Amino acid sequence: MSADRDIDEWMAARGITLPEARARTRAVLEEVGLTRPGRQRMSEPKLLKAAELLAGRFFSVCADGACLKVAQASGREPMRIEPRLHCERCGGSANRRAEVAFVEACQRYGVRRVVVVGGSPAVREELEAKLGHQIDLRMVDGTERRTADRARSDLDWADLVLVWGATELHHKVSGHYTHGGPAYSHKVVHVVKRGVAALLEEGITHLERTR
């Protein structure tokens, strides 16, 4: 026999902690007959059905404006959750929010090919893993020699070039990109802040300003 679980605790584990969200969830569960007013516990089989029902009915979303826009366009009812780690769009991560927003901006402005110059090996691997299946990426090691011809090839190929000056990046490498001439200035962004989120947010800002 399956053990019953406390419904409030089950909701809290899913990020349904705000009073409005709890009341809305209870109303839906009662509406379909999975529980009734005043009942505090539910069997595991019913909780599985409840999870499927809520996933189809609601889009779990944090307070971030960009996440809320996605939720509103999803065709499901937005459900405000806390903590943010339960948000279907960003998972509570600033990096994840920036990654999703960057890909959306690239799609919106027709950017398909992006070069990132600099960054540690671990960060370059992270960007490749998170973004590489959605946009074409070239990751340039800022500590290795890069000829002017190879840099110019990158500039010709790319729709957007992010030169990450606050990371592992030699001036001899970055200079090939930042001093490529006026023909490339519209696509090159010199980022002076650290962190993946800052890098991608600078890219988004540049696209919104120039496209």
The pLDDT value given to residue 2: 56
Extended strands (E) in 29-176: 41-43, 58-61, 77-80, 113-117, 136-140, 160-164
- The pTM for the full model equals 0.69
CB 166 within 8 A of CB 192: yes
Q: Are 99 and 176 in the same domain?
A: yes
**What residue has token string 């090919």?**
113
- As to burial, measured by CB atoms within 10 angstroms (0-12 exposed, 13-18 middle, 19+ buried), residue 200 is buried
Q: How far, in Å, are 39, 97, 153 from residue 70 at the CA level?
A: 34, 12, 36
Q: Are 119 and 205 in the same domain?
A: yes
Q: Are 145 and 53 in the same domain?
A: no
The domain in which residue 150 lies consists of: 94-210
User: What string of pLDDT tens digits covers the 211 residues of the chain?
Assistant: 457 999 999 999 999 999 999 999 999 999 999 999 999 999 999 999 999 999 999 999 999 888 999 899 999 999 999 988 899 988 888 888 899 999 999 999 999 999 999 988 888 898 999 898 999 999 999 998 889 999 999 999 999 999 998 777 888 888 999 888 888 989 999 998 888 999 999 999 999 998 8
Q: Are 198 and 101 in the same domain?
A: yes
The pLDDT value given to residue 1: 47
Last residue of a domain, one of 86, 110, 139: 86
**CA dist., res. 59 & res. 79, Å (int):** 6
Assess whether the previous peptide bond of 83 is cis (omega < 30° from 0): yes
Q: Are 62 and 162 in the same domain?
A: no
Last residue of a domain, one of 29, 64, 86: 86
Q: Which residues contact 182 (CB under 8 A, 6 or more apart)?
A: none
The pLDDT value given to residue 83: 87
Number of domains in the chain: 2
Last residue of a domain, one of 33, 58, 86: 86
CATH number of residue 121's parent domain: 3.40.50
What phi and psi values does residue 4 have, to the nearest 5 degrees?
-75, 155
- As to burial, measured by CB atoms within 10 angstroms (0-12 exposed, 13-18 middle, 19+ buried), residue 65 is exposed
